[in-house]
Chains A and B, each alone.
Chain A
Amino acid sequence: MSVDERAIGSLIDESSDLHRDSMHTTHASLQELVEVGREDATDRPEVHVSSAERNPLLRHGIGGGKALTALGAGGALLALMARPAFADQSSDVQMLQTATSIEILAVATYTAALALPFAGSLPKVVQTFATTTKQQHMDHQQAFSAAVRALGGQPQTKPDPVLLDVVNKAKPGLTGPVPLVELAITLEMGAAETYVAFVTTLTDKNARDTTASIMGVEAQHVAVLNAVKALVGAGHPEYITLPPPAAKLPAAAGSVGFPDAFYPYAMARPAAEGAVK
Chain B
Amino acid sequence: MSTDTHEPIEPIEISEGQLRSMTADMDEMHHATLPVMKEALAEWSELHRQMRSGIAKVVPSRRGFLMGAGVTLGGLALAACGSSKSSTGAGGSATSPTSGTSTTTGGKLTGDLAVVALAASLENLAVQTYAAGISAATAGKLGAVPPAVVTFAQTAKSHHTQHAQAWNAVLAGAGKPMVTGVDKTVKDAVVDPAFAKVTDVGGLATLALTLENAAAATYLEAISVVSAPAGIKTAATIEPVELQHAAILNFVLGKYPVPDTFTKMDGARPVTDVIA
Task: Note whether A and B form a binding pair.
Answer: yes
Closest to A257 in B: B248
| Shortest Cβ gap from B253 to chain A (Å) | 6
State A253–B27 Cα separation when bound (angstroms).
14
Please tell me if the beta carbons of B148 and A249 are within 8 angstroms of each other in the complex. yes
Count of chain A residues with a beta carbon within 8 Å of a chain B beta carbon:
68
Q: Is A200 an interface residue (CB 8 A)?
A: yes
Q: Is A107 an interface residue (CB 8 A)?
A: no
| Set A216, A222, A233, A261: member contacting B216, Cβ < 8 A | A216
Across the interface, which residues of B come within 8 angstroms of A15, CB to CB?
256
Closest to A202 in B: B232
Q: Is B201 an interface residue (CB 8 A)?
A: yes
Of A43-51, A70-78, A115-123, A205-213, the one with at least 4 CB within 8 A of chain B: A205-213
Please tell me if the beta carbons of A252 and B252 are within 8 angstroms of each other in the complex. no
Given A243-B3, A255-B151, A256-B26, A265 contacting B36 (CB threshold 8 A): yes
State A84–B150 Cα separation when bound (angstroms).
49
Please tell me if the beta carbons of B14 and A223 are within 8 angstroms of each other in the complex. no
Across the interface, which residues of A come within 8 angstroms of B155, CB to CB?
254-255, 258
Q: Is A87 an interface residue (CB 8 A)?
A: no
Please tell me if the beta carbons of B236 and A249 are within 8 angstroms of each other in the complex. no
Across the interface, which residues of A come within 8 angstroms of B159, CB to CB?
258, 261
Q: Is B258 an interface residue (CB 8 A)?
A: yes
- B4-20 interface (Cβ within 8 A of A): 4, 7-10, 12-16, 18-20
| Set A11, A139, A199, A246: member contacting B261, Cβ < 8 A | A139
State A243–B251 Cα separation when bound (angstroms).
6
Q: Is A98 an interface residue (CB 8 A)?
A: no
| Set A143, A217, A243, A249: member contacting B253, Cβ < 8 A | A243
Q: Is B85 an interface residue (CB 8 A)?
A: no
Please tell me if the beta carbons of B146 and A246 are within 8 angstroms of each other in the complex. yes
Q: Is B192 an interface residue (CB 8 A)?
A: no
Count CB-based A-B contacts (< 8 Å).
Answer: 239
Please tell me if the beta carbons of A254 and B151 are within 8 angstroms of each other in the complex. yes
| Set B19, B223, B247, B252: member contacting A230, Cβ < 8 A | B19
| Set A135, A209, A250, A259: member contacting B16, Cβ < 8 A | A250
Across the interface, which residues of B come within 8 angstroms of A139, CB to CB?
261-262
Please tell me if the beta carbons of B262 and A220 are within 8 angstroms of each other in the complex. no
Q: Is B32 an interface residue (CB 8 A)?
A: yes
| Shortest Cβ gap from A215 to chain B (Å) | 6
Please tell me if the beta carbons of B244 and A246 are within 8 angstroms of each other in the complex. no
- B139-163 interface (Cβ within 8 A of A): 144, 146-156, 158-159, 162-163
Count of chain B residues with a beta carbon within 8 Å of a chain A beta carbon:
80
Please tell me if the beta carbons of A259 and B258 are within 8 angstroms of each other in the complex. no
Please tell me if the beta carbons of B223 and A258 are within 8 angstroms of each other in the complex. no
Please tell me if the beta carbons of B27 and A259 are within 8 angstroms of each other in the complex. yes
| Shortest Cβ gap from A111 to chain B (Å) | 17
Q: Chain A 237-256 against B: per-residue CB contact (8 Å), 1 yes, 0 no?
A: 00100111111111111111
Across the interface, which residues of B come within 8 angstroms of A255, CB to CB?
23, 26, 151-152, 154-155
| Shortest Cβ gap from B59 to chain A (Å) | 14
Please tell me if the beta carbons of B23 and A252 are within 8 angstroms of each other in the complex. yes
Q: Is B125 an interface residue (CB 8 A)?
A: no
State A136–B7 Cα separation when bound (angstroms).
35
| Shortest Cβ gap from B134 to chain A (Å) | 12
Q: Is B220 an interface residue (CB 8 A)?
A: yes
Shortest 3 CB-CB distances between A and B: which pairs? A259-B26, A254-B151, A219-B240
Known: A136-B261, A217-B261, A243-B3. 14 other contacts (CB 8 A): A139-B261, A205-B62, A220-B244, A233-B18, A242-B251, A250-B148, A251-B147, A254-B147, A261-B158, A261-B162, A262-B163, A263-B33, A263-B239, A264-B29
